[in-house]
């Protein structure tokens, strides 16, 4: 099963991708996690991406396409994967189609949330992390978050039309409790 999870920052992509990866026994491939790892390891890619991510903007397409193409080629992704945070632009989606060749996507799951709630969710998550003495993401602040939401609206939301036209798009209400969202996703895939 080759899946894409689409949704704005704070929609719960990471949480749901993790749950689906357990249920379906396929890896969760998160470009956000890969990039954050690259930043903390100070690799060439990480050095290129760090400031862009901190501002909340998207890193260049060729950089993430390269990362994901290498990751998909690994043996654990042969029987499928869940892409979390990729593709994020139409150019990335077209590159993904090329990378996949004859093994195209089975389904694109859109997590839909009232964007009014997203700011509260993410800032709440950052506050919670701070209280627990955990690391807070460099881009979980009001300024970067509004850039991330704008990037989603302008660059990523058009992907829903791209995938709807291919008959791949399924939309799930992600403002429900977490377990209900998971159940709705599983049902959408079935």
* Chain-centroid distance, C-alpha 38: 16
Footprint on residues 126-165 left by ligand ADP (CB under 6 A): 139, 148
State which residue, 52 or 188, has the beta carbon closest to ligand ADP: 52
Residue 71 as a binder of ligand ADP (CB under 6 A): the answer is no
Dihedral sign, Cα of residue 76, residue 78, residue 79, residue 84: positive
Q: Which of residues 9-48 bind ligand ADP (CB under 6 A)?
A: 9, 13, 31-32, 35
Smaller CB separation from ligand ADP, 44 or 190? 44
From CA 76, how far away is CA 21, in angstroms rounded? 12
Instruction: Work out whether strand 28-30 and strand 169-173 pair parallel, antiparallel, or are unpaired.
Output: unpaired
Distance CA 187, CA 157 (A): 23
Binding-site size, ligand ADP (CB under 6 A): 18
Peptide bond into 87 cis (omega under 30): yes
Between residues 13 and 19, which has the closer beta carbon with respect to ligand ADP?
13
Of the candidate residues 53, 105, 108, 172, the single one contacting ligand ADP (CB under 6 A): 53
Nearer to ligand ADP, 10 or 182 (CB): 10
- From 20-28, 85-93, 161-169, 171-179, give the range in contact with ligand ADP by CB under 6 A: 85-93
Q: What are the residue numbers of the active site?
A: 13, 88, 125, 137, 148
| Residue 53, both tokens | 């991510």
Q: Which residues bind ligand ADP (CB under 6 A)?
A: 9, 13, 31-32, 35, 52-53, 56-59, 64, 85-86, 88, 92, 139, 148
């Amino acid at each position: 099963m080759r899946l894409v999870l689409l949704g704005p920052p704070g929609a719960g992509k990471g949480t749901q991708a993790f749950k689906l990866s357990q249920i379906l026994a396929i890896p969760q491939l998160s470009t956000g996690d890969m990039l954050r790892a690259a930043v903390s390891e100070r690799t060439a890619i990480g050095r290129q991406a760090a400031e862009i991510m901190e501002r909340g903007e998207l890193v260049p397409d060729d950089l993430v396409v390269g990362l994901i193409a290498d990751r998909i080629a690994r043996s654990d992704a042969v029987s499928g994967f869940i892409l979390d945070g990729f593709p994020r632009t139409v150019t990335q989606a077209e590159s993904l189609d090329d990378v996949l060749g004859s093994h195209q996507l089975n389904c694109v799951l859109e997590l839909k949330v009232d964007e009014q709630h997203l700011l509260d969710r993410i800032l709440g998550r950052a506050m919670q992390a701070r209280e627990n003495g955990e690391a807070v993401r460099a881009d979980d602040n009001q300024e970067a978050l509004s850039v991330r939401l704008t990037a989603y609206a302008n660059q990523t939301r058009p992907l829903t039309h791209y995938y709807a036209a291919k008959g791949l798009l399924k939309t799930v209400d992600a403002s429900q409790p977490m377990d209900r969202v998971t159940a709705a996703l599983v049902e959408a895939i079935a």
